[in-house]
Amino acid sequence: MKSGAAAIRAAIIDLDGTMLHTVPDFELALNGMRAEFGLAPITQQIIEPMVGKGSEKLIRDVLARDFDTDRIDAVFNDAMAAYQRHYLAINGERATLYPHVIEGLQALKDLGLRLACVTNKPVAFTQPLLAKKGLTPYFELVYGGDSFPRKKPDPMPLLQVCRDFDVEPARVVAIGDSSNDAEAARAAGCFVLSVPYGYNHGKPVQSINSDGIVGSLLEAAELISAHNKANS
Ligand SMILES: O=C(O)COP(=O)(O)O
Ligand SMILES: [Mg+2]
């Protein structure tokens, strides 16, 4: 991150691919939905690059493997309802925390940062999942893909967090696994750090327009601490 810039006061943290490896949950829910339409199961490998752009795009992409656009339009509402039913039934059962997530969140809090979780996951999936994984107490704010009219890569949810926290975007860092998070952060005027272990739509993490790649949220906290010392 640049020196000569403002100290960081808040962090906006992504969920899928950043804090939790959720593809195993997506596998159960999506294949539950597919079975209702007589479609064969698809693998985690196929699903992984599809995650991160919200439920509507995910359902369309998953159905597009077998159906043309007209058929997708015709079944979309039923498919979405089936997917939501399956997802809520298994939410968090197979998802796992990535290494050093809890330690990283604690370290960010210990630096005095305010924390928000901004995900493209529907908020009705997000709240119980954060609770089940012990993440709820770390976040003052949680916004999902359906919290606002526009989701990441639009800056709208990030700008709302800045307003809620009354912190300038230049003093906020977004931490995520994908170009989606980085584009939203750039458009909002926030810093952006990227983790390399998540789901960047099948592209290498190095292709993300980021201020730095960090191996974990704990490493992100160490980098932010150094940045704040250099810019205090
Ligand atoms: O698209 C989703 O469902 C979630 O994606 P995100 O948590 O990486 O924003
Ligand atoms: Mg993500």
For the chain, first and last CA: distance in Å?
Answer: 14
Judge if ipTM > 0.85.
yes
Residues 134 and 65 in one domain: no
Chain mean pLDDT for the chain: 96
d(CA 125, CA 111): 29
Q: How far is the CA of 170 from the centre of ligand 1 (A)?
A: 24
C-alpha–C-alpha distance, residues 147 and 157, integer Å: 8
- Same domain? 179 vs 192: yes
Cross-strand partners of 129: none
Span 175-202, mean pLDDT?
97
Measured distance CA(12)–CA(29) in Å, rounded: 27
CA 134 to ligand 1 centroid distance, Å:
19
pTM: 0.96
Closest ligand 1 atom number to CA of residue 58: 1
pLDDT tens readout for residues 110-154: 999 999 999 999 999 999 999 999 999 999 999 999 999 999 999
Place of tokens 């003093």: 171
Does residue 169 sit in the same domain as residue 58?
no
Question: Average pLDDT in the 148-173 region?
Answer: 98
- Count of structural domains, the chain: 2
Q: Is the pLDDT of residue 168 over 80?
A: yes
Q: Domain range spanning residue 72?
A: 23-90
Cis ω on the peptide bond leading into residue 153 (within 30° of 0)?
yes
Nearest to 220 by CA among 162, 168, 181, 187: 181
